[in-house]
Amino acid sequence: MPLLALYTTLLALIWTQTVHSRPEDHHHTARIRITRKESTISSFNLPNLETDPVWKLVKDPTSSKIYAGASHGLYEFNPEKNPPGLTQEALPIFKNECNGSGSGCERSIFVVTEGKNGNPLFVCGTEVKKCCEVDSGYNPRNCFKMDGSAGKVNESALYNGDTLYFTISGDSCATDTLGLYRQANQGYTWPQTRDIAQTYVKIIADESSAAKNGKLYNFYIEKNQNDDPETPLWIPRVSRYCMSDTGGSKNQLQYRWTSMLTARLFCGDKKMRVTFTELLDVAVLDPKNWNTTMVYALFRNNYNATAVCIYKMSEITRIFASGKFRHSTAPPQQAGECVSDKSTSFLKFMEKRPEMEEWIEPERHPLLVGHRHYTHLQVDSVTRNDVTYSVLFLTLGNGRIHKVVELNDGPFIIAEYEPFEYKTHIQSMLLDRATKKLYVSSSNELVQIDLKTCSIYGQEKCDCVFARDPYCAWSGSACSPDMPHMRLDDPADCTAGVTAKLMSETLVIVPPNSKYHYKCPTFSQHASYTWEHNSKKKDCLPFQQECLLLIENMSEEDVGQYDCIASENGQERKVLSFRLGNSASQPRVPPRLLILISLICFWYQG
């Protein structure tokens, strides 16, 4: 390895271990683990999906229903059913076009996304090249025929007004042209052909503008054409398009984008020369108010470290509106704007896929830097006592999920959910902000997680406060949801000396010279646990979600009371107590007392 590359690697490893981390912090560990045994997690099997996993989860904007879309099937989850149920639904919207070619054509889907005009879904079929809005009875509405290429159900797509925007990702030898497509009754717009591997992640739109002036923003990565091993493998970008763009003239950019501008995204630390370039997922906060919209982007780098970078949408729009282009000193007027009269010089300039000179940089330092295999990202906004908190949900490669709150002193991992019985790959994740429920799908299962089940943190005030969960607050008697008027308490303000409700203190008799162990539950992974016996501390051996007291050889010195003590945020709490005795240490009952007890029992029975 070249010396510069080795130096850069060492810097990257050191930085990912130290950023946002102090000895007393827990930025890299979830405070508690929540398994599927808890009531907060509900699971539902998906039938017949061994070869057709669910790739897309879509929220019904008109109800609480969730739709799960696969390439050859559509499933409906209704949480209001008693009990809640998951059913496979027929899609007869393409029936007339099948012409007896087989039952598969009517169920071959390449787009499933949120509908418009009061219709919950928008669906496109691959075989018949037809797209329709779908009402609650699965009847077609506002259909139109497709022209040209069709993508896959897991590709990013957006249905806006009466127009569909979708992407096609792939490597450099893909049969279809890679990029963003526009399809409507009025025609279509295709990307320019480019022999570079690309992966498209997210499409968002400025819906506050009029249709003719509306803008699309497409987040993606493309393969770096530089063969230097010290350069990153991927280049992250965002491109801006005019939603009304129908292409150029017959001789130039006909049916191709004439408004596409591109800017490069940066995520990392310039001083330490650490960058994250492989864009994995994008989540948007407050998309309806464009001036305050925040874009959360999940990245990975060449060393398999991940990070979340946060961008202001107002900064992204500023850079595209600056008019400063890379490799161009005299761009034509209105370059990249939504114009109807397009001159030859204008089209020639836009054909070169102009790139902005300025890179788009994050608002602040990257979050959650570390060697965790994060794959999907969702973000929610929670307001408590006029303070707004961002809560992130990130899936891990083993099928678990981290719930993270963004605080002034850095990210805090509230909980790690284990929603699946076995390690698995999460295919899709959806956050229902209205009901505060999270939905995740694997190859054969849909899981619902209730984000406001606050009792999982414990029954004491400090348990609730230490959780740092914006969805929950201490009501005075319990850890409860739906208390936006209360502030998020600082753990340092929790009253010292508060103890948890003890399990019933028991007396355990162990024969002399025997081995014995006793379990203490470890509710918090941020707490340290010790055993106290006769004013002395004994080591607590961690085992799964418990810590063990081990007695190797029972003796008189081991007799007495044992307290399991949890220490967290400077507070010590007694979790449980028990007394340990051996048969040699138990007092003998006098013979006269035994005779008296026998007479009393005989008299009582008579």
Q: What is the per-residue pLDDT across 516-542, written as a single tens digit (0 to 9) for each?
A: 888 888 888 899 899 999 888 888 888
pLDDT for the residue numbered 503: 47
Between CA 87 and CA 77 the distance in angstroms is: 7
Residue 48 — very low, low, confident or very high, per pLDDT cuts 50/70/90?
low
- In a domain? residue 122: yes
Higher-confidence position of 224 and 73: 224
Between CA 501 and CA 513 the distance in angstroms is: 33
Region 206-219: mean pLDDT is 76
Residue 467 has which token pair? 């959780």
- In a domain? residue 83: yes
Residue 65 has which token pair? 């229903």
Compute the mean pLDDT over every residue in the chain, rounded to the nearest whole number. 83
pLDDT for the residue numbered 209: 55
Q: What is the per-residue pLDDT across 35-45, written as a single tens digit (0 to 9) for each?
A: 988 889 999 88
- In a domain? residue 258: yes
Domain boundary among 371, 387, 414: 371
Between CA 474 and CA 466 the distance in angstroms is: 11
Number of structural domains in the chain: 4
Residue 474 has which token pair? 């201490």
DSSP 339-373: -SS--HHHHHHHHT--BBSSPB--SSSPEEEES--
Give the H or E element holding residue 31. none
List b or e across 461-499, with b for residues whose CB sees 16 or more CB atoms inside 10 angstroms: bbbbbbbbbbbbbbeeeebbbebeeeebbeeeebeeeee
Region 220-245: mean pLDDT is 90
Residue 218 has which token pair? 């497409």
pLDDT for the residue numbered 97: 56
Which phi and psi angles does 168 have, rounded to 5°?
A: -130, 120
Contact 414, 30 (CB under 8 A): yes
pLDDT for the residue numbered 320: 94
Asked if 92 and 175 sit in the same domain, the reply is no
Asked if 120 and 262 sit in the same domain, the reply is no
Residue 174 — very low, low, confident or very high, per pLDDT cuts 50/70/90?
confident
Residue 406 has pLDDT above 90, yes or no: yes
User: Which of the 8 DSSP states describes residue 87?
Assistant: E
Region 98-117: mean pLDDT is 69
Region 46-72: mean pLDDT is 79
Asked if 263 and 332 sit in the same domain, the reply is yes
Q: How far apart are the first and last CA of the chain?
A: 94
Q: What is the per-residue pLDDT across 392-402, written as a single tens digit (0 to 9) for each?
A: 999 999 999 99
Of 14-18, 383-387, 433-437, 546-550, the range with the lowest mean pLDDT is: 14-18
- In a domain? residue 259: yes
Asked if 528 and 485 sit in the same domain, the reply is no
Residue 71 has pLDDT above 50, yes or no: yes
Asked if 279 and 221 sit in the same domain, the reply is yes
CA dihedral angle for residue 160, residue 68, residue 400, residue 456, rounded to 10 degrees: 100
- In a domain? residue 291: yes
DSSP 106-145: GG-EEEEEE-STT-SEEEEETTTTEEEEE-TT--EEEEEE
Domain boundary among 443, 471, 493: 493
Region 67-79: mean pLDDT is 85
Residue whose pair of structure tokens reads 């909980």 in the numeric block: 415
Asked if 317 and 221 sit in the same domain, the reply is yes
Residue 595 has pLDDT above 50, yes or no: no
User: Is 155 exposed, middle or buried, given 0-12, 13-18 or 19+ CB atoms closer than 10 A?
Assistant: buried
Residue 466 has which token pair? 């230490």
- CATH code for the domain of 334: 2.130.10.10
What proportion of the chain, given as a percentage, has pLDDT over 70?
A: 85
Q: How many residues does the chain have?
A: 606
Region 181-198: mean pLDDT is 90
Of 155-169, 170-184, 334-348, 576-590, the range with the lowest mean pLDDT is: 576-590
Asked if 214 and 104 sit in the same domain, the reply is no
- In a domain? residue 345: yes
Asked if 128 and 181 sit in the same domain, the reply is no
Asked if 200 and 239 sit in the same domain, the reply is yes
Q: What is the per-residue pLDDT across 334-351, written as a single tens digit (0 to 9) for each?
A: 887 888 888 888 999 999
Residue 293 has which token pair? 């919209």
Domain boundary among 326, 343, 371: 371
Residue 53 has pLDDT above 90, yes or no: no
pLDDT for the residue numbered 21: 40
Q: Range of 199's domain?
A: 168-371
- In a domain? residue 34: no
- In a domain? residue 54: yes
Which phi and psi angles does 604 have, rounded to 5°?
A: -70, -40
Region 140-157: mean pLDDT is 84
Residue 207 — very low, low, confident or very high, per pLDDT cuts 50/70/90?
low
List b or e across 25-57, with b for residues whose CB sees 16 or more CB atoms inside 10 angstroms: ebbeebbbbbeeebebbbbbebeebeeebbbbb
Residue 14 — very low, low, confident or very high, per pLDDT cuts 50/70/90?
very low
Of 353-357, 375-379, 504-508, the range with the lowest mean pLDDT is: 504-508
Residue 86 — very low, low, confident or very high, per pLDDT cuts 50/70/90?
confident
List b or e across 227-243, with b for residues whose CB sees 16 or more CB atoms inside 10 angstroms: eeeeebebbbbbbbbbb
CA distances from 453 to 4, 435, 457 (A): 50, 12, 9
Region 219-226: mean pLDDT is 93
Residue 589 has pLDDT above 50, yes or no: no
Contact 122, 111 (CB under 8 A): yes
Asked if 296 and 253 sit in the same domain, the reply is yes
- CATH code for the domain of 565: 2.60.40.10
Contact 591, 535 (CB under 8 A): no
Asked if 118 and 253 sit in the same domain, the reply is no
pLDDT for the residue numbered 18: 46
Asked if 362 and 488 sit in the same domain, the reply is no
